[in-house]
Structure 1
Amino acid sequence: MPDNLNTPEPPDVPVAIVAPRARWRPQVVWLVPIIAVLIGGWLAVKAVLDQGPQITIMFNTGDGLEAGKTKIKFREVDIGVIKGVSLSRDHKHVIATAEVVKDASDLLVDDTRFWVVRPRISGGTVSGLGTLLSGSFVGMDAGGSAKPRQTFTGLEVPPVISSDVPGREFVLRSQNMGSLDAGTPIFYRRLQVGQITSYALDPDGRGVTLHVFINAPYDKFVRPDTRFWHASGVDVALDSNGVRLNAQSLVSIIIGGVAFDTPEHSLDQPQAAAQTTFTLFENFGEAMKRHDRIVTRFVAEFDDSVRGLTVGAPLDFRGITIGEVSGIYTRFDRESRKLSIVVEVAYYPERFTNRYESGPTGSPVVKDTREFADYLVARGLRLQLRTGNLLTGQRYLAVDFFPDAPKAKIDWSKNPPQYPTVPGSLQSLQDSVTRLVAKLNTIPFEAIGKNAQMTLQNANSLLAHLDTDVVPEAKNTLNAAHGVMTSANGALQPDSALQQNVSDAMNQLAQTAAAVRTLADYLERHPEALVRGKQENKP
């Protein structure tokens, strides 16, 4: 193609310079995801840092436990949640895995307790009613130990007393539980001051051990000599003052209870230490009974019946209880072929006497207690069964002096020693009646009856003779005597001749007495008249 010279040349075009492209340029659109990633990372780190410890709790059953829903509460505040529930390897327990908030990690110590809160009625108290609507939850009671712990065994029964409640715990020993239970109230002067926290059967099976908690400040009234007793039901007493009813409260009547008090002579003692062991008595009377430190045992043998005598009956000396019956059993003597009743007695020497002093110098009467016992028995000391209550027939064992009792000694060769006895009053009366009947049997009542019959026949003959012979003669004699009495009565009338003659005679006798009196007066004045005679008066 030919060149076209007339065509103009194009203008100069600037040359483009290629600049190198940058490897990274910040874009605004990436700012949002970056911030989101940072926030998510911060939240993840914070969640890890704020995550509480993981714990496991072992229960006997999974009732009320649900993963992700069942809460753990302390003082009604949520501090954790159950994350998982599974069976143990031996399939005998339920393992609950829980997560607790970090702030509550210091509460997970060695003596911390967990339990499932459900509706429950125990010891007269009702708990867990709120779970009927909200569902069960796991309760927690923080312990006071400093040792941390991650594995716990849950309680089947909620603790009665929280660990932070002020007060002290004591131990009671009893032969049986009665109507007591965990949560049963404890009374002091009819004021509820504590509760039974737990109980267990003794390893030997002979008794029950109870743990009780006395709230402060009432725990200061528990002293070493304090007495605890069953306060369940109503205590009825019949004595010389009439019938008395005693009960702690309506609650103790329905669900039972325990009461305690301290004898007057022990009120100045210091407070009892925590975990001190006490005996739980059956009733108030048994608790306040004097408990002696020295106990001596002996036996007494009786031939008569011991019906009405029971274990615990008193050993009485003139109204003072010096012991009690501890056992009643039979004994067969192979040598004498005799079967008798043996009564075992617990004797308290401190109640009887322990000084044996007499005289101004205070010298002892005997050297030892055995010699003193022999001395008393030699003076007539014997044991006797007596009736204490005619209405119930209860009997007791009396100790008294019987000077006319046959001579006897204490058999120290037996263990325990045997004291001599005398028959009871009823037995003595029965023996007397038996002897009287035996004597009556020796009387010949048949011969006496025949003689009496003959005597009656003779009396009848005599009465017939009197009726036919003696009575008419006696009648005539009585008529004659009646005539004599009539004549005498007539002679004694005022107007009778006899009365007139007697009156005249009395008048003459009076005149004669007057003349004699005059003569005596004259002779007293003129004694010479007895010789010379009476002289005439000269003019």
Structure 2
Amino acid sequence: MSNDNKQQPNKQLEYRPVPAVVKKTNIFNSIIWLVPLIALIAGGWLLMKEIQNTGPEVTLLMDSADGIEVNNTVVKVLSVEVGRVKRIRLQEDREGVEVTVRLTADAKDMMREDTQFWVVKPRFDESGISGLNTLVSGAYIAFTPGKSEETKYEFKVLDIPPMTAIGQNGLRLKLIGMNDKMLGVGSPVLYEDFSVGVVESAEFTPKDQTVSYTIFIESPNDKLVGQNSQFWLQNGINIETTGSGVHIRSAPIPALLSGAIVFASPNGNKGDPAVNGDTFELYNSRSDIDNLPTERSLYYTAFFKQSVRGLAPGAPVEYKGLNIGAVAEVPYFADGDSLKLFENGWIPVRIRIEPERMEINADAQSKQYWQSHFQTALNKGLTAVIASNNLITGSKMIELDDTPDSGSKLKPFARYNGNVVIATRNGGLDQLQAQLGNLLEKFNKLPLEKTVGELNSSLGELKATLKSANALINKPQTQNVPQELNQTLSELRQTLKGVSPQSPLYGDVQSTLNSIDKTLKDAQPVLNQLKEKPNSFIFNSNVKDPIPKGSR
């Protein structure tokens, strides 16, 4: 053993414990993990709210995107925003545009089969001025919710807004007529002079040249329409000139420019209530309805040789001022009789007699009763005459006259085309012209030349007589007669001075002188007039001499 090992002391092994590591907990590190969790929860909540508040996407088909902008153009219902335009693109056929709209949840249940969309922008039409507020805010898309059970998400945008309000009850009818004028959408529908509805659509059919309308009558006014109701056009101010004067009918202010459709029930009998989709005939005017034939109408034919200018279908037929019918057809040729027009000069006119116009405060009688009653009048001499209905417009009418000895009559047939023929005669201005013609003819037959010659001869003899009288008056002897007579009387007075006043001779002479003196006094004015105007005994002296006219 070495010394080194001997020198090292024998040491006992010493134990030292290892210290424990204590980890401290960081509160900040625990909270930071909550931020993503909260964000996730908030995002989920916002996503759920977005899903709840977001409605469906709707595709709108339009002719053009004029005034439509992405993210700017909104969709409204009842002026409440319920969507916004998200995309605009051309349609596949390049004939329009396709607009995609995102709606809110408020409108998701409004997309039905009958929902209608349109663009609201400034507009001026028959219904007035609308959309002026869009001049500042810009155009927007509006729609009316439908009531159908089926949903739909693609719609054709209308050119004009629909005329009916949202959820409004009423009656929708169709009118068809051969009309002279076509009204525009938005024109009013009137009952009497009260606005009760509106025209929703108007369409002209070239094939049959008819005009079709769809009208909507608001509730409760739809109760006024029945199966017997009659519809006609009223164009602004209507002026009618008849034999009774000038009648002016003015529509309400909304209808003055565009016209209106008016309806009423004959005699207040509207019949069974009308239902949606019913079709009615539309007449041009109220007068067309007034002249409609009835089941008891009586038809007759009258032949005229005078002019029928101014006589048109619908012209009144009157008896002593009472309107009892109307002209049905003029002219009324049948079986090619128009080819014989220049052979006989006859122009047939078909007239219609309405018995109900003669049943004034009386019960309605049968058609056979009025046929027999009218035939009795014809047998007694009832005739038809064309008379003037209005001198200003030149319109004519038929007047039935039963005056006896009314002149020559025309009745070429007993019946014509199944109708009884009424005898006719000339009347009115034509009759006056005929009378004037007869008078002129008689006047032309007078021996005027012989009469004028004899009158000229008599005037010549009278002129010669006046000349002789003037020569006699102008003679000195004739003019000296008064002077010589005065001288004779003076000499006679000198002679009588020697006669005694008490003698009978003096009294006789004095009486004679007084008589002569009175006679001279009475003759003095005549002599003075004769001296001033020698021809005054032949011509009237009180009439002023005519002043000859100067040459033209």
Q: Shorter-normalised TM-score: what interval?
A: 0.5 to 0.7
From 310, 315, 318, the counterpart of 1:308: 310
Q: 3-state DSSP class of the match of 2:222? A: helix
CA gap of 1:34–1:341, structure 2 versus 1, over 3 A, is: farther
Q: How far off its partner does 1:420 sit? A: 4.0
- With 64-73 and 409-418 compared, the bigger mean Cα shift is at 409-418
Q: Which residues of 2 match residues 162-181 of structure 1 at below 5 A? A: 162-176=165-179, 178=181, 180-181=183-184
| Aligned-partner Cα distance in 2 for 1:366–1:143 | 57
Q: How far off its partner does 1:417 sit? A: 7.2
| Aligned-partner Cα distance in 1 for 2:383–2:271 | 40
Q: 3-state DSSP class of the match of 2:355? A: helix
CA gap of 1:341–1:314, structure 2 versus 1, over 3 A, is: farther
* 1:480-539, Cα deviation, whole Å (9 max, x unpaired): xxxxxxx9xx9xxxxxxxxxxxxxxxxxxxxxxxxxxxxxxxxxxxxxxxxxxxxxxxxx
Partner AA of 2:294 in structure 1: R
| Aligned-partner Cα distance in 2 for 1:401–1:242 | 25
Maintained 8 Å contact 1:378/1:409: no
* 1:370-399, Cα deviation, whole Å (9 max, x unpaired): x88776544433322112334444321123
CA gap of 1:184–1:432, structure 2 versus 1, over 3 A, is: closer
Structure 2 residue 126 is the aligned partner of structure 1 residue 120: no
Q: Name 2:389's counterpart in structure 1.
A: 388
| Aligned-partner Cα distance in 2 for 1:94–1:288 | 47
* 1:124-151, Cα deviation, whole Å (9 max, x unpaired): 4332222222222211111111111122
Q: How far off its partner does 1:464 sit? A: 12
Partner AA of 1:309 in structure 2: L
CA gap of 1:183–1:367, structure 2 versus 1, over 3 A, is: closer
CA gap of 1:387–1:125, structure 2 versus 1, over 3 A, is: closer
Maintained 8 Å contact 2:299/2:351: yes
CA gap of 1:177–1:303, structure 2 versus 1, over 3 A, is: closer
From 155, 163, 173, the counterpart of 2:158: 155
Structure 2 residue 333 is the aligned partner of structure 1 residue 324: no
| Aligned-partner Cα distance in 2 for 1:189–1:366 | 36
Q: Which residues of 2 match residues 162-201 of structure 1 at below 5 A? A: 162-176=165-179, 178=181, 180-188=183-191, 190-201=193-204
Partner AA of 2:318 in structure 1: D
Structure 2: gaps of 5 or more residues:
21-28, 360-364, 470-507, 512-552
Q: 3-state DSSP class of the match of 1:32? A: helix
Structure 2 residue 250 is the aligned partner of structure 1 residue 247: yes
Q: Name 1:130's counterpart in structure 2.
A: 133
Q: How far off its partner does 1:110 sit? A: 0.9
* 1:339-374, Cα deviation, whole Å (9 max, x unpaired): 7363543514434779xxxxxxxx9998995x8877
Structure 2 residue 226 is the aligned partner of structure 1 residue 214: no
Structure 1: gaps of 5 or more residues:
18-25, 355-362, 467-486, 491-539
CA gap of 1:123–1:90, structure 2 versus 1, over 3 A, is: same
Partner AA of 2:80 in structure 1: V
Q: 3-state DSSP class of the match of 2:92? A: coil
Partner AA of 2:184 in structure 1: D
* 1:49-80, Cα deviation, whole Å (9 max, x unpaired): 66432221211221232223322222222222
Structural RMSD (CA): 4.6
Q: 3-state DSSP class of the match of 2:433? A: helix
Q: 3-state DSSP class of the match of 1:428? A: helix
| Aligned-partner Cα distance in 1 for 2:320–2:456 | 55
| Aligned-partner Cα distance in 2 for 1:255–1:336 | 44
Q: 3-state DSSP class of the match of 1:33? A: helix
- Percent identity, please: 26
Q: Which residues of 2 match residues 334-373 of structure 1 at below 5 A? A: 337-338=342-343, 340=345, 342=347, 344-351=349-356
Q: Name 1:503's counterpart in structure 2.
A: none
TM-score by length of 2: 0.66
From 421, 424, 427, the counterpart of 1:421: 424
Q: Which residues of 2 match residues 258-273 of structure 1 at below 5 A? A: 258-262=261-265, 265-266=267-268, 271-273=273-275
CA gap of 1:402–1:158, structure 2 versus 1, over 3 A, is: same
| Aligned-partner Cα distance in 2 for 1:127–1:211 | 22
Partner AA of 1:95 in structure 2: E
| Aligned-partner Cα distance in 2 for 1:62–1:282 | 40
- With 400-409 and 425-434 compared, the bigger mean Cα shift is at 400-409
| Aligned-partner Cα distance in 2 for 1:76–1:95 | 23
Q: Name 2:484's counterpart in structure 1.
A: none
Partner AA of 1:431 in structure 2: A
CA gap of 1:436–1:249, structure 2 versus 1, over 3 A, is: closer
| Aligned-partner Cα distance in 1 for 2:105–2:356 | 67
| Aligned-partner Cα distance in 2 for 1:412–1:399 | 18
Q: Name 2:501's counterpart in structure 1.
A: none
From 141, 147, 166, the counterpart of 1:144: 147
| Aligned-partner Cα distance in 2 for 1:366–1:16 | 139
Q: How far off its partner does 1:114 sit? A: 1.0
| Aligned-partner Cα distance in 1 for 2:342–2:262 | 52
CA gap of 1:98–1:461, structure 2 versus 1, over 3 A, is: closer
Q: Name 1:535's counterpart in structure 2.
A: none
CA gap of 1:109–1:352, structure 2 versus 1, over 3 A, is: closer
Partner AA of 1:137 in structure 2: Y
Partner AA of 1:340 in structure 2: G
Q: How far off its partner does 1:112 sit? A: 0.8
- With 331-340 and 97-106 compared, the bigger mean Cα shift is at 331-340
| Aligned-partner Cα distance in 1 for 2:244–2:91 | 66
Q: 3-state DSSP class of the match of 2:173? A: strand
Partner AA of 1:118 in structure 2: K
